Amino acid sequence: MISRTKYIGAVEIGTAKVSVLIGEVTNSRSLSIVGMGECASRGVIKGSVFDYKAASDSAHSALIEAERRAGVRVDEVYLAQTGGHLDGFSSDASVQVSAANNMVSDFDIDTVCNMARSKQLPEGRMVVQRLRRPFRLDGRLVPDPDSLVGRELQVGYFVVHGQENRIADNIHVIRGFNVRVSELILSSLASGAMVTAPDERQHGVLVLDIGAGTTDYVLYRDGMPQVAGVVPVGGSHLTNDLALGLRLTEGQADKLKLRCGRATILTKSREEKVWLNGDFAIGDRQFPKLTIEQITSARVWELLEVVKKKLGPAFEPDRTGAGVVLTGGTAKLPGIAEAAGKVFGLAAHVSEAPAWVSENLRDPSFSTVLGLLHYGLSSRPEVPTAARRSPGLFKKLFASA
Amino acid sequence: MNKTASTLAAARSWRDIPQEVAPRSMSREGRTRLVLSFVKVGLVSVVLATVGWAAWELMQTWQTNPTKLAAPVKSEPLRTVKLTTNGVLDEAWVVHRLALPRGVTLMELDLGLLQDALLADRQVRTATLTRKFPDTLLVVLQERSPVCRLRVQDREAASRDYLISRDGMVFVGANFDADLIGGLPWLDGVKLSPIRGGGFSPVSGMETLADLLETAQVNVPGLYRSWRIASMARFASYGEIVVRSETVPEIVFGLRDDFFTQIALLDAVLAETQSKPVSSINLALGKKQVPVVFAPAESASPGVAAPVPAGGLGHLRDGPRTQPTLPASQASHPLFTFQPSQPRESSRDL
């Protein structure tokens, strides 16, 4: 048997860095990571491109490095999509089963799906992804209603949409490298597919991917994503708060955040202090550790509360059995799992990469770009049922009977 | 989170965003990749066009003059001719027929001409020739089987025997067993038309005669062996086949009943009349009436081993009518015995 090998790139243009992975896909089944490229991101704020040239330079540098390490050229990539402009809504539809014997047919499935999908968006908005929820046949959950018997078939979609020009900017950055974008995947879905197991998604799990500029979230239930969204707040806001509160430069505040920042307050005494640089040079000074923890924890708690508020009634703790999983670069902040646990009232933990991921990619900040390859290969764009299963010769022969 | 949504046409998706980017909007690396991709497409197109042109040229040469391909192809001299046939012809006959030059290579052979040479002998129904490298020519033949034989005299009064197949083809016949040929009845009452290039046009009505002879051979082999002449002289006009056997000078078969029924009747008549000499049995009128003419007592011993009609066993349509002859073993008998039609019993219902 001849093995068919294909090279696919995965690109995440984040606020802090651009990450690129190149995967070698053999026979559409096995995936090997053969190249990696990273570059500090420029021209991107809160996940959106505002300087095309700068963003292109950093993205193309990361692509060149990944291709050089892999020793191959890629012709298409999966691109992560995030940004504060993303929004979403639920769209549900139901139909009465058309057959006299109440057996669900392809026609019924296509009808209810088309009804649920045919929602028009405001001017300038376009769909990034539609997340289909499980079908319900007379109220019971069914993974595939085809040929089952029932009266009413229901389905719901969570439609994620965004600003057309910002999505186009993201794609054009990649097209500037003469590489085609074959899939545009929500960052939260990519991360979620990577850091959660199928049984966790079945029991219900909330995934928070806290990056530098944005926090992407996705809530799974019954094995499928129910709600996904983006909060335009991330680790850079913690840095900014520290810089403002302690009158520091952004670089100094970032170092202090990484050294002493916490999502929960551990320090009791205001007398406990830390040096800014620790080199006793001119300008080096002390700051109360309690103050640093208060500033960072306040912003983290606020962020988590905003996410909870955006989830709204869709979030039900008793139907989120697998708890909260935190990932992304800011998930490395000490105490963040404890904070998330308290805000959402659930067990929370920082994600751990699967065992097959190599050591240099186990950092939570790579979960999105790893998940792009994983999600892009394991899922296919949804196509109408009738197109997916064209009638065979036998059916055609007896169609008129 | 929930925006106002109306149930109209489906919303636009990110896939509706055109991915075409002007080269000036690309980075330097992007433009380099674009140029390389054009070069790659161009090279692939050139290679494909070259391969296509070469294939077309090869096909043209193969169709017009295949021997031109002999030089580039390394081919050894032909050493073996391997024959597969459903008949009696052998490899020596094929080699003789093909008249291959000594030292000829496989690629130098014109298989079309060789096939024509084989098909020129009407004993060969189909011929397939295949090169098997490095040095073997495979010949697959389907042959015709004779159902009767025919003697023809030409203008120089030379006689020659031919065989006739079920489809009416007239051929000389090679490699057949002498006993097999000797057991075939002679054919009478047909006119042969020479065709350009030698040979004769197919004889009509042979399918019917072949059916009669095969039915007799299978069902009454003893009776069949006594049949000497089958005449088609009345076939075109009356639909009758006249057979002359060693014991009965005239047995008339018709097309009204099937041959199996007629032969069964013949067998029954001969069984009934075995003590009396019979000069004629007419089976062409149907199974309800079979006229039987008995020979007079004084000429009851016809000894008509193989009476031959005055017109000859066969004659050339455009050539001189020739004196019919019989094989040497039967030549002492009279060529045709006329029996006056004074039957003692005119007819008899069976």
Q: What is the nearest CA distance from B4 to chain A, expressed in angstroms?
A: 8
Quick one: average pLDDT of A137-159?
Answer: 91
DSSP secondary structure of A62-129 = HHHHHHHHHTS--SEEEEEE--TT-EEEEEEEEEE--STT-B--HHHHHHHHHHHH--BPPTTEEEEE
Mutate to test the interface with A, among B7, B8, B14 (most CBs of A within 10 A): B14
CB pairs under 8 A between A and B: 99
The chain B residue lying nearest A74, using CA atoms, is: B33
Tokens coding A392:
């065979």
The answer to whether A160 and A128 have CB atoms below 8 angstroms apart is: yes
Of A57, A127, A229, the CB nearest to B11: A127
Q: How does pLDDT run across A316-330, given as a tens digit for each residue? A: 999 999 999 999 999
Instruction: Write the CA distances from A154 to A106, A138, A382, integer angstroms.
Output: 14, 8, 17
The chain A residue lying nearest B18, using CA atoms, is: A168
pLDDT at position B72 is 59
All residues of chain B having their beta carbon less than 8 Å from the beta carbon of residue A57 are 27
Rg of chain A in Å (alpha carbons) = 23
Other residues' Cβ atoms within 10 Å of the Cβ of residue A295 = 22
The chain B residue lying nearest A176, using CA atoms, is: B26
Other residues' Cβ atoms within 10 Å of the Cβ of residue B322 = 21
Bigger pLDDT: B11 vs A362: A362
The answer to whether A47 and A29 have CB atoms below 8 angstroms apart is: no
Q: What is the nearest CA distance from A246 to chain B, expressed in angstroms?
A: 35
Q: Which residue has the tokens 């016949």?
A: B173
Q: Is the CB of B27 less than 8 angstroms away from the CB of A60?
A: yes
The answer to whether A284 and A275 have CB atoms below 8 angstroms apart is: yes
Tokens coding B262:
């007629």
Q: Is the pLDDT of residue A340 over 90?
A: yes
Q: How does pLDDT run across A66-81, given as a tens digit for each residue? A: 999 999 999 889 999 9
Q: Is the CB of A89 less than 8 angstroms away from the CB of B21?
A: no
Distance CA A128, CA A76 (A): 18
pLDDT at position B194 is 84
**Beta bridge partners of residue A92, listed in sequence order:** A156
Of A131-145, A287-301, B1-15, B29-43, where does mean pLDDT reach its minimum? B1-15
Quick one: average pLDDT of A343-366?
Answer: 89
Q: Which residue has the tokens 């980017």?
A: B21
Return the SS3 of A372.
helix
pLDDT at position A332 is 93
At CB < 8 A and 24+ separation, what contacts does B129-133 make?
B131/B106, B131/B107, B132/B82, B133/B75, B133/B106
Q: What is the pLDDT along chain B (350 residues), one digit of tens a residue?
A: 333 334 445 678 898 888 887 777 788 888 888 888 889 999 999 999 999 999 999 898 888 876 666 665 566 788 889 999 999 999 999 999 988 888 888 888 888 899 999 999 999 999 999 988 888 899 999 999 999 999 888 777 678 889 999 999 999 989 899 888 988 999 988 888 888 877 888 988 999 999 999 999 999 998 899 999 999 999 988 889 999 998 899 999 998 889 999 999 898 888 888 778 888 999 988 878 888 888 876 554 444 333 333 333 444 444 333 233 333 333 333 322 223 333 333 333 33
Q: Under the phi-then-psi rule, with left for phi > 0, alpha for psi from -120 to 50, and beta for the rest, what region is A88? A: beta
Greatest CA span in chain B, whole angstroms? 129
Helices (H) and strands (E) in chain A, counts: 12, 19
Bigger pLDDT: A269 vs A11: A11
DSSP secondary structure of A183-250 = EEEEHHHHHHHHHS-HHHHHH-EEEEEE-SS-EEEEEEETTEEEEEEEES--HHHHHHHHHHHHT--H
pLDDT at position A311 is 92
Which residues make Cβ contacts (< 8 Å) with residue B216, sequence separation at least 6?
B223, B224, B227, B259, B263
Q: Is the CB of A88 less than 8 angstroms away from the CB of B1?
A: yes
Indicate the residue type of A124. Answer: G
Interface residues of A toward B, Cβ cutoff 8 Å, are: 56-57, 60, 64, 73, 81, 87-91, 114-115, 117-122, 125-128, 159, 161, 164, 167-168, 171-172, 175-181, 184, 229, 310, 312
Confidence of residue A155 (pLDDT cuts 50, 70, 90): very high
Give me the percent of chain A exceeding a pLDDT of 70.
Answer: 93
pLDDT at position B297 is 62
Distance CA A391, CA B104 (A): 59
Instruction: Write the CA distances from B19 to A21, A180, B36, B41, integer angstroms.
Output: 21, 7, 19, 19
What are the φ and ψ backbone dihedral angles of B186, each rounded to 5 degrees?
A: -80, 150
All residues of chain A having their beta carbon less than 8 Å from the beta carbon of residue B11 are 119-121, 125-127, 159, 161
pTM for this one? 0.58
Distance CA B92, CA B132 (A): 19
Return the SS3 of B183.
coil
Distance CA B272, CA A202 (A): 99
Of B6, B14, B26, the CB nearest to A167: B14
Confidence of residue A120 (pLDDT cuts 50, 70, 90): confident
Q: What is the nearest CA distance from A185 to chain B, expressed in angstroms?
A: 10
All residues of chain B having their beta carbon less than 8 Å from the beta carbon of residue A171 are 14, 17, 19
Indicate the residue type of A284. Answer: D
